[in-house]
Structure 1
Amino acid sequence: MNSLLITGTDTEAGKTVLTTALAAYWQKYCASQSLGIMKPIQSGIGDREVYQKLFSLSQTSEEITPLYFQAPLAPPIAAAKENRDVDLGIVWQALTKLQAQRDFVLIEALGGLGSPVTDELTVADLAAEWRLPTVLVVPVKLGSISQAVANVALAKMTRVNLLGIVLNCTQPRTEEEVEDLTPVRMVRSLTNMPVFGCLPYLENPLDLDKLAQVASNLDLEQLLPFRKLIKSL
């Protein structure tokens, strides 16, 4: 499948940083291949606006975010405040159309794998049902190991095609601090998942050159379709 879902252990884990880093890398090294970015559901101002500012996607706001709600709350709650439903049919139609039009589609999920999409479904349920290859972003902070273990357990329970983990520094961290808070060997051992690397804290998360650089430091060969791309460079 020509898509990659980027989710996290929670809100503010670093999903947008990884999404924009991968998009910047793709834009720099794959200009001949078309890229689409989607935030399927957004509540409040946020990621869609970042994508529109950074990238020339030739996508309308609705093509980037098929479902948009005003209140920065969980979608079923935000939708209820507007007397609306979370219509996943609209999202699915927009996603399949974008997948048909683009060589590769980056999809940024909302919240974590356990975040509610509707009153009955979570992000994990959607990832599994739509068969989306998925990467889990884990922030470098105290408590993140247990969150990583819980999210991976949920992914396995719901049969999500989880490819692995990317660590992300949400604030400046030394190598020693990263090792103390989220040691890669322990994260790998407890989750039985590969760790593709660690994103450093970015003072300017809108610097495309820096975003592409930090993406290049990840083990992108493990992230399809980047494996095929890298072999062709």
Structure 2
Amino acid sequence: MNALLITGTDTDAGKTVLTTALAAYWQTYCNSQSLGIMKPLQTGVGDRELYDRLFSLDQTWEELNPVHFEAPLAPPIAAEKEGKRVKLEKIWQAFEALHRQRDFVLVEALGGLGSPVTRETTVADLAWDWRLPVVLVVPVKLGAIGQAVANVALARQSKIHLKGIVLNCVEPRSEQEIADWAPADLIESLTSISVLGLIPHLADPTDLVKLAQVAADLDLEQLLPLG
């Protein structure tokens, strides 16, 4: 499928910065082809507003974010506070329509791979149901190795196609901290999944030129359809 689901180990892992970096690269170097971005579910204010501001996507709000709830909580809880339910069929229909219109679609998940979408399903279940290839964002911090191992195990249990791991410096990190907290070789050895690169801490995560440069340093052959 000509789409990629970007998920993480948890909230604030760096899904948004990877999505914006890949979109910035696409619009800089692949502008002869059309890109779509989707945030299937959003609670509170955040990513859909950012993508609408940064990129010329020619998408409606419903194409960008088909289901939204006001409270910044897990979707089933946020939905219940509004007396509603999470309509998975609405999300799928919006994705299918956008996917037909665009050459490639970046889908940014909410929370982490194990985050609830409904009371019965998680982001991992969504990836399996939609048959989406997945990239996992792992923040560089103490405990990153264990988080990577646990999330890869969940991906395997859910039988999803995990294309690789991207490490992300949510906070400024020294080379020694990166080597000590998130050594790529050890993560690859323990998970048998390739680390596709590292996103450094960005002082301005809305700088599209810098974001495109950051994306260029990743293993883009695994992340974008460049061939």
How many residue pairs are counted as aligned between the two chains? 227
Deviations 1:147-206 (A, max 9, x none): 111110000001011101000000111222110110001110111100000000000000
CA distance in structure 1 between the partners assigned to 2:97 and 2:58 by the alignment: 14
CA distance in structure 2 between the partners assigned to 1:208 and 1:104 by the alignment: 19
CA distance in structure 2 between the partners assigned to 1:181 and 1:224 by the alignment: 28
Amino-acid identity (%) = 68
Matched residue type, 1:55: F
> 1:87 is matched with which residue?
87
CA distance in structure 1 between the partners assigned to 2:222 and 2:69 by the alignment: 35
Map 1:122-141; keep pairs closer than 5 Å: 122-141=122-141
> 1:98 is matched with which residue?
98
Matched residue type, 1:179: A
> RMSD between aligned alpha carbons?
0.7
> 1:231 is matched with which residue?
none
Q: Secondary structure at the match of 1:112?
A: coil
The alpha-carbon deviation at position 224 of structure 1 amounts to 4.3
> 1:150 is matched with which residue?
150
Deviations 1:123-153 (A, max 9, x none): 0011011100100000000011111111100
TM-score by length of 1: 0.96
CA distance in structure 1 between the partners assigned to 2:14 and 2:150 by the alignment: 17
Deviations 1:42-82 (A, max 9, x none): 00000001101100100111110000000000000000000
Map 1:23-62; keep pairs closer than 5 Å: 23-62=23-62
Q: Secondary structure at the match of 2:109?
A: strand
TM-score by length of 2: 0.99
Residue 4 (str. 1) matches residue 4 (str. 2): yes
CA distance in structure 2 between the partners assigned to 1:64 and 1:185 by the alignment: 36
Map 1:159-174; keep pairs closer than 5 Å: 159-174=159-174
CA distance in structure 2 between the partners assigned to 1:224 and 1:174 by the alignment: 29
In structure 1, the gaps of 5 or more residues are 229-233
Deviations 1:75-108 (A, max 9, x none): 0000000000100000000000000000000000
The alpha-carbon deviation at position 213 of structure 1 amounts to 0.2
Deviations 1:11-62 (A, max 9, x none): 0000000000000000000111000000000000000011011001001111
CA distance in structure 2 between the partners assigned to 1:221 and 1:85 by the alignment: 38
> 2:66 is matched with which residue?
66
The alpha-carbon deviation at position 223 of structure 1 amounts to 2.4
Matched residue type, 1:80: E
Matched residue type, 2:14: G
Residue 179 (str. 1) matches residue 140 (str. 2): no
CA distance in structure 1 between the partners assigned to 2:63 and 2:222 by the alignment: 28
CA distance in structure 1 between the partners assigned to 2:196 and 2:162 by the alignment: 12
